Structure 1
Amino acid sequence: MSAFSHLPLGQRIPAGTPHAVSASLPTMRAVIGYEEKNPEITRHMTSGYPRFVKHPFLKKTAAHILHTLGLEGWQLWPTSSAHAAATLCAWLGVPEARVVENVCVSGVAFPANPDTFARAKTYLQHTGTLLSSREAEDYLVRVGELPAPHPEPTFEGYAASRVKGAVARAFQHASPEDVFLANSGMNAVYAAFRAADSLQRPRGRKLWIQLGWLYLDTIAILQKFTGQPAHDYVVQHNVFDLAALRKLFATRGHEIAGLITEVPTNPLIQTPDLAAIYELCRAHQAIFVADPTIASPLNIDILPHTDVAVNSLTKYTASEGDVLAGAIVVNPRSPWAADFRRLLPGELQPVYSRDLSRLASQIGDVDALIAQVNRTAPAVVEFLLNHPRVKNVWWSEHPDSRDNYLKIARSPASIGSMISFTVENLAEFYDRLSLPKGPSFGMKTSLICPFIYLAHYDLVTSEHGRAQLAAAGLDPELLRLSIGSEPADDIIAALAEALA
Structure 2
Amino acid sequence: MAIIELGESIPALTPHASSVSLPTWGDNIGYEKGQARVISKMTTGYPRFFIHKAIVAFAEDVVQKIGKPGCQAMLFPSTRTARSCVNFMHSRDPSITAGQIQMIDLVLDKQRADSEMLKKVSPSISAVIFPTPLFPLAKQYWQHSGDGVSSRRAEFCHGLFLDSLLVEKTALQPILNGLQKACKGPRRYQRGSMDKTPSKMNKDGQESPDISHQPATVPLQEARESTQFLEERFGRNLDVSFVDNAKSAIRRRIAGSLMGEVDLSTAPSSKMSSNMRGVVELSEDDVYLYPCGMNSIFHTHRMMLEARGSLKSISFGFPYVDTLKILEKFGPGCIFYGNGSSEDLDDLENRLKEGERFLTLICEFPGNPMLKCPDLQRIRKMADKYDFSVIVDETIGNFINVHVLPYADVVVSSLTKIFSGECNVMGGSAIFNPQGRYYQALKKVADVEFEDNYWAEDVIFMERNSRHFVSRIKRINENAELICDILRGHPLVKEVFFPKHNSSKACYDACRTPNGGYGGLLSFTFYTTAQAIAFFDRIETAKGPSLGTNFTLASPYVILAHFLELDWAAQFGVPADLIRISVGLEDAEELKSTFSDALKAAEAVSLEDS
**TM-score of the two chains, using structure 2 as the length reference:** 0.76
CA positional deviation for 1:469: 2.1
Residues 111 and 399 of structure 1: CA distance in aligned 2, closer, same or farther (over 3 Å): closer
SS class of match (1:269): coil
1:146 alignment partner in structure 2: 220
1:108 alignment partner in structure 2: 128
Amino acid at match of 1:233: I
Q: Which moved more, 1:98-107 or 1:303-312?
A: 98-107
Deviations 1:226-270 (A, max 9, x none): 32x3xx4343523333323322322244x2111110001111101
Residues 497 and 62 of structure 1: CA distance in aligned 2, closer, same or farther (over 3 Å): same
2:386 alignment partner in structure 1: 284
CA contact (8 A) 2:319 2:338 kept: no
Runs (5+) with no aligned partner, structure 2: 91-95, 108-123, 164-218, 257-275, 601-610
Deviations 1:12-69 (A, max 9, x none): 1112321100010001111011111111100111211100001010011101111222
Task: Select 1:213's aligned residue among 309, 313, 318.
Answer: 318
**TM-score of the two chains, using structure 1 as the length reference:** 0.93
CA contact (8 A) 1:207 1:234 kept: no
Residues 451 and 399 of structure 1: CA distance in aligned 2, closer, same or farther (over 3 Å): closer
1:122 alignment partner in structure 2: 140
Deviations 1:112-156 (A, max 9, x none): 22xx10111111110111110000110123225323331234676
CA positional deviation for 1:10: 1.1
CA positional deviation for 1:297: 1.6
CA contact (8 A) 1:210 1:259 kept: yes
Distance (whole Å) between structure 2 residues aligned to residue 431 and residue 79 of structure 1:
38
SS class of match (2:390): strand
CA contact (8 A) 1:314 1:323 kept: yes
Amino acid at match of 1:316: I
CA contact (8 A) 1:180 1:344 kept: no
Task: From the CA coordinates, give the structure whose radius of gyration is larger.
Answer: 2
Amino acid at match of 2:4: L
CA positional deviation for 1:412: 5.3
1:52 maps onto 2:49 in alignment: yes
Cα RMSD (Å):
1.7
Deviations 1:444-487 (A, max 9, x none): 11111011100000012xxxxx1x22321111111111111112
1:235 alignment partner in structure 2: 337
SS class of match (1:295): coil
Paired residues for 1:314-329 under 5 Å: 314-329=416-431
Paired residues for 1:91-106 under 5 Å: 91-93=88-90, 94-95=96-97, 96-103=100-107, 104-106=124-126
1:176 maps onto 2:173 in alignment: no
Distance (whole Å) between structure 1 residues aligned to residue 67 and residue 484 of structure 2:
57
1:397 alignment partner in structure 2: 500
1:479 alignment partner in structure 2: 579
Amino acid at match of 1:83: R
CA positional deviation for 1:200: 2.5
Q: Which moved more, 1:55-64 or 1:154-163?
A: 154-163
CA contact (8 A) 1:375 1:413 kept: no
2:63 alignment partner in structure 1: 66
Paired residues for 1:126-275 under 5 Å: 126-142=144-160, 143=162, 145-148=219-222, 149-150=224-225, 151-152=228-229, 153=233, 157=242, 158-169=245-256, 171=277, 173=279, 174-201=282-309, 206-227=311-332, 229=333, 232-241=334-343, 242-253=345-356, 255-275=357-377
Structure 1 segments, 4+ long, off by >4 Å, are 153-156
Deviations 1:67-126 (A, max 9, x none): 22253431001113211111111221232111113342111001222xx10111111110
1:463 alignment partner in structure 2: none
CA contact (8 A) 2:338 2:572 kept: no
Residues 120 and 285 of structure 1: CA distance in aligned 2, closer, same or farther (over 3 Å): same
CA contact (8 A) 1:51 1:128 kept: yes
CA positional deviation for 1:163: 0.7
2:26 alignment partner in structure 1: 29
Deviations 1:261-288 (A, max 9, x none): 0001111101112121111101111011
- State the identity as a percent: 29
CA contact (8 A) 2:372 2:502 kept: no
Q: Which moved more, 1:315-324 or 1:150-159?
A: 150-159
CA contact (8 A) 2:395 2:417 kept: yes
Paired residues for 1:328-347 under 5 Å: 328-344=430-446, 346-347=449-450
SS class of match (2:41): coil
Task: Select 1:350's aligned residue among 453, 465, 474.
Answer: 453
CA contact (8 A) 1:6 1:26 kept: yes
CA contact (8 A) 1:134 1:354 kept: yes
Distance (whole Å) between structure 1 residues aligned to residue 277 and residue 560 of structure 2:
30
Distance (whole Å) between structure 1 residues aligned to residue 511 and residue 106 of structure 2:
48
SS class of match (2:323): helix
Amino acid at match of 2:517: S
Deviations 1:390-427 (A, max 9, x none): 11100111240211111111135411001011123222
Residues 97 and 40 of structure 1: CA distance in aligned 2, closer, same or farther (over 3 Å): same
Distance (whole Å) between structure 2 residues aligned to residue 243 and residue 91 of structure 1:
35
SS class of match (1:474): coil
CA positional deviation for 1:300: 0.6
Distance (whole Å) between structure 1 residues aligned to residue 278 and residue 132 of structure 2:
49
Amino acid at match of 1:175: S
Amino acid at match of 1:29: G
CA contact (8 A) 2:552 2:586 kept: yes
CA contact (8 A) 1:65 1:102 kept: no
CA contact (8 A) 1:239 1:270 kept: no
SS class of match (1:256): coil
- Higher RCO by CA contacts (8 Å cutoff, separation 6 or greater): 1
Q: Which moved more, 1:169-178 or 1:77-86?
A: 169-178
SS class of match (1:456): helix
Distance (whole Å) between structure 2 residues aligned to residue 67 and residue 78 of structure 1:
14
In the alignment of these two chains, the number of paired residues is 482
Q: Which moved more, 1:431-440 or 1:163-172?
A: 163-172
CA contact (8 A) 1:188 1:348 kept: no
CA positional deviation for 1:347: 4.7
